[in-house]
Each structure stands twice: as structure tokens, then as C-alpha cells.
Amino acid sequence: MNDALEDDPVEAIQELPAAKRDKVVSAGQMSRRLRAIWIRIHWGKVALFGISLFLFILAITFMKNGARELAPLVRGAFNVSNPANSLGFGWVFAYLVMSGSPVAAAALTFLDAGIIDTIATFTMITGSRLGASFIVLFVGLVYVFRGRNWATSLGMGLLSLTVTGSTYLIGLIIGIPLLRSGFLEPVRLESGMLLTSFIEIVFESIAAALSLVLPGWGIFLLGMGVIILSFNLFDRCLPKMTLKESQVGSLATFVFRPGVMFLLGAAVTTMSMSVSVSLSILVPLNDRGFIRRENVIPYIMGANITTFIDTLIASVLLGNPHAFTVVLAEMTSITIVSLIVLIIFYHPFERAMLDFVSWITRENRHLYLFMAVIIVAPIILLFV
């Protein structure tokens, strides 16, 4: 049959029985589709994803190996000795590195090195998310200094920070007892034997070689640099969502059920691993950069849960079961808070968030007061 197809494919196909002919035609269509998909794949981005994944694992290995020597610095100089300190430490640390995920990964390596306990790790990760929300606000502030309107430029950043702050701080109340109860400890996710051996052979060897020339704290700092680089590279792997390209954004013309936006926020952030990236995806197609108030809050709430996916992966790579439990407790507590809000008092919560944001943007002194509070609060926590 293959010979016949090569001689005159069309005639040969027409001579086949109907069932076989359909199979040959559908196989041809499938082949064309696969070829089209193959052409559409951005191989450069796939390679970049591979590199960012490699760097991510390398960074975790560096941080894990270097963290032990940081114990005196973290306990002594930064005085991280209780959950409030670690909350403030994670918060300030995220401000300094302008990102939350590297700080959350650092918290896990501190736990692995025995510098902080599980509760302090939990609050440090919470602090890292609070600090990361400030970054969105910081970008808005840059526009304000360039002469844009307060309310318009800062609205989304303030809302993101307010929703994140309120759900995460309430999440602490649920998360800490949940962690203490040991309820989540039976849940385990471990990297496979093959990955563990691969990490030991490749990444541990690089770390061991580096330890000959660098002190432990130097390896940790190098790890922080590499993890920030890996997240930056990962962001570049994602398709660039602009005003004209975002297909998700075209949905912004409708008012969706809160639960739908919650799931959408969670799903998009699972793929993008960044709240700010997933928020930018919401920007409407061919529109003016607007989003409906009704849609955005549950979306942020959903995004705030799955933004921990990278931290969860880091905990698996560390191979420390307690680290995994901490991240799971974080995700579980935020999920519980979000579901309670969505099911029981979503509309009052929604109004309270928006009212608070409009109060902040109403007068310059309100904004200055708010900024002062979110800058001073983590510093005070460090010294509690």
C-alpha cells in the first residue's frame, strides 16, 4: 500500500475501501496538524525554559548548602527568633530583592538548615508574599512620579496588596494551628529516585566544587542571585501578553461569577507562577487596559494560592518533608480563608477592599500614611 501511495497517492487513496480511506485521510490531517504545531513552537523559549529550570534547581542546591553558615547572621543580626520576627524578615527581604519567590525559597533552605522552625518558616513565607505585593505597587508609584493620576496608576497595585494582606494575615490564624496540629504531615510529595540521583551527581558536585573557593554565605548569596535570574528567565519563556494579544482579557467585558474568576486566577497563575504576570494577562483584548472591579478581587484571591507552586516545587527539590508541609499549610490556609470569603461574605469583602483603596487614593496624605505603615510595619516586626 505504501508503494502505491508513493506512485500516485490521490488515486491510491481513492481506491481504498471507505473505512481505510478515512483512516488514511485522518492520518494525513493529523500529520499536518502536528507539523503546524511543530512550526508554531518557539524552540528558543523551550530552551530558555530548560535553562531556567536548571538554574532553579542549581540555586536551591546552592542555597541549601550555604544556608547553614547564615545561622548566626539570621539569628543574631536580624534577630529572627519568633514568628513575628520571621514575618517581618520575609517581608523586608522581599522588598530588598523586589520579589517574593526567592525569599520563600530562602525560608525553606533556612528550615532545612535548622536556622528557623516550621512556624517561623511559615510566617517568613507569608512575609515574602506581602513584600512581593508591594512590588506591583512600586511599579505604580513609578508612574505616579512620572505624572500619572494617583488613583488610576496605583489602583490595581493597592488592590492586590490589600487583598493579599488581608487574606494572608487571616491565613496566619488558620495556618499556624494547622501546622502545629500535624494534620498535613501525612501528605507527602517527594522527588523521584532518578531526579534525586541526578541532583546529587550534577548539582551537588557543582556546589561542592564552589565550596572550595567560596564561604557558605557566599554560596547562599550566589544561590539567591541564580534563583532571581532563573525566575527572570522563566518570565521570558511565557508568551508576552499585550493589549492586543491577551485572549483571556477579551473576557473582561463580562461580569463573571466570583468562583469562576477565582478558579481562573488560580489556573493562570499555576501556569505563569507569578501574580503580577497573571494580572497582566487579564488586560482586555483591543480595549483600553481596563478590567471590571467585580472580576478582579476573586482573581487575585485565586492567584494568591497557586503562586506558591514554585515554592512547593522548591520544597520537593529540597527533599525535606517539613518544608513541603509548611508550603502545603500555607496553600491550605489561604484556600480556606478565600473560600470562606467567597461563600459567606464576598460582597461586603469586595466593597471593603475597594472602599479602602479609594480612601487611600483620595488624598495624598492617606497614601503617604499607608506607604509609611507598610514600610515601617515589617521593620517593627523585626524587633518585636
Q: Which residues bind another protein (CB under 8 A)?
A: 139-140, 142-143, 148-149, 151-157, 159, 249, 252, 254-258, 260, 279-280, 282-284, 288-294, 296, 350-351, 354
- Residue 148 dihedral angles phi and psi, to the nearest 5°: -80, 165
What SS3 state is found at 80?
coil
**Of 174 and 248, which has the nearer Cβ to another protein?**
248
**Of 163 and 279, which has the nearer Cβ to another protein?**
279
> Distance between CA 262 and CA 342 in Å, rounded?
9
**Of 140 and 165, which has the nearer Cβ to another protein?**
140
> CB–CB of 299/305 below 8 Å?
no
For the bound state, the minimum distance from the C-beta of residue 292 to another protein, rounded and expressed in Å, comes to: 5
Q: Classify the phi-psi angles of 254: left when phi > 0, otherwise alpha if psi is within -120 to 50, otherwise beta.
A: beta
**Of 181 and 286, which has the nearer Cβ to another protein?**
286
* Neighbouring C-beta atoms of residue 351, cutoff 10 Å: 12
Q: Of 263, 244, 327, 257, whose CA–CA distance to 292 is shortest?
A: 257
> Distance between CA 66 and CA 70 in Å, rounded?
7
Cell digits of residue 76:
543574631
For the bound state, the minimum distance from the C-beta of residue 267 to another protein, rounded and expressed in Å, comes to: 13
Report the chain's terminal Cα–Cα distance, integer Å: 81
> Distance between CA 87 and CA 84 in Å, rounded?
5
**Of 57 and 353, which has the nearer Cβ to another protein?**
353
For the bound state, the minimum distance from the C-beta of residue 143 to another protein, rounded and expressed in Å, comes to: 4
Cell digits of residue 56:
532553579
> Distance between CA 284 and CA 292 in Å, rounded?
10
**Of 139 and 221, which has the nearer Cβ to another protein?**
139
For the bound state, the minimum distance from the C-beta of residue 257 to another protein, rounded and expressed in Å, comes to: 5
For the bound state, the minimum distance from the C-beta of residue 265 to another protein, rounded and expressed in Å, comes to: 13
For the bound state, the minimum distance from the C-beta of residue 220 to another protein, rounded and expressed in Å, comes to: 33
Q: What is the DSSP code (8-state) at residue 75? A: I
